C-alpha cells in the first residue's frame, strides 16, 4: 500500500517541537496511539464522547521519540488533570 501523505501535528512542549506518529493512505488514516486503562474499585475510568455517544479508553498520539507506555502515562495524566 502506497503512503500518499504523512501528517504531523506540531506541538510545543518546553520549547521542543514534537510530532505525532501517523500517516494517511488511500485506504484511510493511521495514528499510533498509547492508551491507559485506569481501574479503581472494580470500575474503569473512560472518556465519553458526547457527539458520537460512546466511551473509549484514555489515550492519544505517540510522539516521535516517545514510547507508547510514556504516551499512555502522559495522556492519562493530562486527561485526569483537566477534569479536576
Which pLDDT tens digit goes with each residue over 7-58?
444 343 434 556 888 888 899 999 899 998 889 999 998 888 888 888 888 8
- Evaluate if pTM is beyond 0.75: no
Query: What local confidence, expressed as pLDDT, does residue 17 receive?
Result: 57
Predicted confidence (pLDDT) at residue 83 exceeds the cutoff of 90:
no
Query: What local confidence, expressed as pLDDT, does residue 21 receive?
Result: 86
Say how many Å lie between the first and final Cα of the chain, rounded: 44
Q: How many CA atoms lie within 13 A of 80 on its CB side?
A: 11
Query: What local confidence, expressed as pLDDT, does residue 77 receive?
Result: 86
Query: What local confidence, expressed as pLDDT, does residue 1 receive?
Result: 32
- Going by C-alpha positions, the residue among 56, 59, 60, 73 that lies closest to residue 18 is 60
Amino acid at each position: 500500500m502506497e503512503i500518499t501523505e504523512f501528517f504531523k501535528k506540531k506541538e510545543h512542549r518546553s520549547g521542543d517541537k514534537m510530532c505525532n506518529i501517523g500517516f494517511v493512505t488511500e485506504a484511510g488514516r493511521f495514528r499510533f496511539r498509547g492508551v491507559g486503562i485506569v481501574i479503581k474499585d472494580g470500575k474503569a475510568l473512560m472518556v465519553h464522547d458526547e457527539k458520537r455517544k460512546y466511551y473509549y479508553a484514555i489515550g492519544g498520539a505517540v510522539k516521535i521519540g516517545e514510547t507508547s507506555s510514556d504516551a499512555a502515562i502522559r495522556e492519562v495524566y493530562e486527561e485526569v488533570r483537566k477534569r479536576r
